[in-house]
Structure 1
Amino acid sequence: MGIVSHEAINQFQALIDPVEEPLKRTFQNVHQGNLTETLVRFLKARDGNVAKAHKMLVDCLNWRVQNEIDNILAKPIVPAELYRAVRNSHLIGVSGYSREGLPVFAVGLALSTFDKASVNYYVQSHIQMNEYRDRVLLPSASKKYGRPITTCVKVLDMTGLKLSALSQIKLLTIISTIDDLNYPEKTNTYYIVNAPYIFSACWKVVKPLLQERTRKKVQVLPGSGEDELLKIMDYASLPHFCRKAGSGSSRHAGDGYENCFSFDHPFHQQLYNYIKQQALMREPVGPIKQGSFHVDVPEPALEGTEIAKTLVSEFHKFGNGNGMSDSLHRLRIDDK
């Protein structure tokens, strides 16, 4: 188990076993019957330190209770047109599964604009996807493959990366902070594809700032990444932007391929219908109320803050001489 010893797991379990309601109830939604794997994830996130991992997990459980995360899959974003707008501006979806049974999350990182709804809706949608992954997709995959499957892989498309992406750093930092503190070690590997020169240059600077366990997870693939990704997944599970015959764009599938970001994609239809059904089970009478699900966001970790600052600095270098310095200056002021 790498840096995690069996002794550390046993010590951690002895500390977490006495936890009382309502923390015990929400912990069941976290581990989904895979207790050891869950303890290992939190231990890895704290480099095997039992005391720090215990604090991290208890903080996570308290965050879940205080923000009613257990109920978030019964809080649909309505009307459907609003959810469609969220999907069109936060490009993420599930394109299929790896040959090992891990869900393949496709992310159009560079072309996501996050400009069609309030921050609360994007945070709500992101957490819902996390919870659906952990409570529905992963248990289903575990049953199908006859072994615990507790992680996923992510393919990040950098098509269209440009300076305007800096305006989304604050929201991306919020999302990554939620993931780091409450859904640690849920991604097995990050595959970066369609990376332009500007990304490659920034990556060289950001990479040393990442923890070693994070650096090892990131693989920057040449071009669309199709050849490398086909070693771990079938063609049918390949995100549309990785297919050489496709458009090469996150926004458009092209040539008849399914756009896994679209609200009309089977994954998003299943997710949205599941959330609506859960809402009707809780409130069978009366229309579903509109309104975002507010979640308290923890302070970003120092590592994440430093990475964001470094990215701004590096993009600033590219902006000089290209008429982009003023927008960068405004971004720096807004972030203070």
Structure 2
Amino acid sequence: MRPITYLRATDTATAVAAVSTDPTSDFLAGGTTEVDLLRQDVLNPRRLVDINDLPLAGIEGTPEGGLRIGALARMSEVAAAPVVRERFPLIAQALELGASAQLRNMASMGGNLLQRVRCSYFRDAESPCNKRDPGTGCSAIEGFSRGHAVLGTSEHCIATHPSDVAVALVALDARVHTLGPNGERTHAIDDFFLLPGDSPHREHPLEHGELITAIEVPAAPVARHSLYLKVRDRESYEFALVSVAAALSVMDGTIAEVRVALGGVATKPWRARRAEDFLVGATVRRDDFAMAARVELADARPTPMNAFKVELAQRAIIRALDMLSDGTGTGPAPRPGIGSPS
């Protein structure tokens, strides 16, 4: 057993200083990922700095129609907040579909964005893994890869990003506010998640000791008509094979604005900008939805084990846009309704 020391921070500056000045320290919030990785011997901090007493748990709407979420707000609290459900139903749905009730009551929003990949090779602490031990190789490329990425991959890593709510936040152009040893910073969320390239161990642009303090979602009237669709092997708590965060605004039968982001298929929450560009100005037709989905997945690089994800992602995009265009995508979190392939 490795000894671990513990510090409970009482203010944000103290927490940042404690971690940033000690490369063996990590922040501890809900602990739903950190504790697992400690047990699996994947993470090896010598000290945990508990940040749960910091005043970073607020959830409030902005006068402009946006949203500000404190990094320590729990997933369940955010999902239940009336301002979230009214203005951004896709966020509430992504959170409700994202974990078991017990985990949602513990997991923080900041921690959710920073959770590590669920690739079994990363988590077994023994197999070669460029994320865990840079330069050792990627076992998944020639190994079991059914759940791995088909977009944004490299020869060094094909692990998918696991967060559900991050997919919704990417669709909404959210911003991540941080405090680090060099002061405050704001990160556009699409830049907050890094593609693996030749350095898959670096998943975010954060410095050591840089703490997420808040997530800001700008006003987006289109988001009031939105949904999060999650396709998985079983309807109970499970990670996505494919997910779609979508919002749609239609005027006189023509798409005026659309937001689409994908989860479960890429090495980061994937903004489907090609699909969006194709759809703006198009008519509300299933054929156009299908063409937009094909355009988005044109550069997919599947393995033999996960090639089914390309078609599944296309079908999920079509289903999500169909649900929004016919009105069935509003209200409480919808059941996926799409079976995964056998």
TM-score, normalized by length of structure 1?
A: 0.29
Higher strand proportion, which one?
Answer: 2
Higher helix proportion, which one?
Answer: 1
